């Protein structure tokens, strides 16, 4: 398995990354270190992860990063990047929430459109987790035109 974990420096994403590595997966994590809570806490979340040669952290915003490139070779996507907090989400900070939760999710899903006619596709998506099963085209486990190369374990 080669997993992409968004929000990888966060509480859930970092623990999930540890578990995935323990199970033998390769992990690519993305995090933009938003200021929702102190960066130092997120850095501590990464203590067990940094230095593992199957782990790579990309510090970037999902709303900016070239996701097509990052998704190449990824077999599983765990989308945990978010701005949490129900009460804070309404009012003055509303735009922050729509940007980090809605826009970023849409941008992550965007590459799945157009398969199989486009050059590649993402696996089908379930809430919180995208696991590979069948391509939208229904032909094979992976779309023949998909750039994914690794078989899921
Ligand atoms: N922690 C919990 O107990 C819990 C419970 C239920 C659901 N959840 C949900 O799980 C998800 C993750 O929760 P968490 O507790 O790990 O939150 P968290 O704030 O610790 O982690 C989220 C991470 O996402 C990053 N991030 C946000 N927007 C980003 C973007 N556009 N690009 C890149 N990185 C970005 C942040 O920097 C942060 O490190 C949230 O959707 C949350 O609502 C959490």
Please tell me the distance from the alpha carbon of residue 116 to that of residue 93, in angstroms, as a whole number: 39
* Atom 12, ligand 1: residue with shortest CA distance: 80
**For position 112, what pLDDT does the model report?**
59
SS (H, E, C) 95-151: HHHHHHHHHHHHHHHHHHCCCCCCCCCCCCCECCEECCCCCCCCCCCCCCCCCCCCC
How far is the centre of ligand 1, averaged over its atoms, from the C-alpha of 10 (Å)? Answer: 6
Q: What is the pTM of this model?
A: 0.82
Closest-lying ligand 1 atom to the alpha carbon of residue 12: 16
The residues lining ligand 1, judged by C-beta closer than 6 Å to any ligand atom, are 7, 9-13, 30-34, 36, 42, 61-63, 80-84, 100, 104
Which of 80, 88, 89 best tests ligand 1's pocket when mutated (most atoms within 8 Å of CB)?
80
How far is the centre of ligand 1, averaged over its atoms, from the C-alpha of 137 (Å)? Answer: 32
**For position 110, what pLDDT does the model report?**
84
**For position 142, what pLDDT does the model report?**
46
How far is the centre of ligand 1, averaged over its atoms, from the C-alpha of 5 (Å)? Answer: 11
Whether 52 and 14 have beta carbons less than 8 Å apart is answered as no
Phi, psi of 3 (to 5 degrees): -100, 140
pLDDT in tens, the chain (153 residues): 999 999 999 999 999 999 999 999 999 999 999 999 999 999 999 999 999 999 999 999 999 999 988 998 999 999 999 999 988 898 999 999 999 999 999 999 887 554 544 444 555 555 544 444 455 565 444 444 554 433 333
**For position 147, what pLDDT does the model report?**
45
How far is the centre of ligand 1, averaged over its atoms, from the C-alpha of 59 (Å)? Answer: 14
How far is the centre of ligand 1, averaged over its atoms, from the C-alpha of 117 (Å)? Answer: 33
């Amino acid at each position: 398995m080669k997993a992409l974990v968004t929000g990888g420096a966060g509480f859930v994403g970092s623990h999930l990354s540890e578990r995935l590595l323990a199970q033998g997966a390769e992990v690519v994590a993305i995090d933009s270190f938003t200021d929702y809570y102190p960066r130092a806490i997120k850095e501590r979340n990464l203590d067990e992860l940094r230095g593992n040669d199957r782990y790579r952290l990309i510090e970037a915003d999902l709303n900016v990063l070239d996701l097509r490139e990052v998704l190449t070779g990824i077999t599983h996507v765990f989308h945990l990047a978010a701005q949490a907090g129900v009460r804070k989400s309404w009012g003055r900070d509303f735009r922050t929430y729509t940007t980090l939760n809605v826009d970023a999710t849409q941008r992550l899903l965007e590459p799945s459109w157009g398969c199989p006619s486009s050059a590649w596709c993402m696996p089908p998506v379930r809430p919180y987790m995208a696991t590979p099963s069948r391509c939208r085209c229904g032909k094979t486990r992976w779309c023949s035109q998909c750039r994914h190369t690794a078989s899921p374990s």
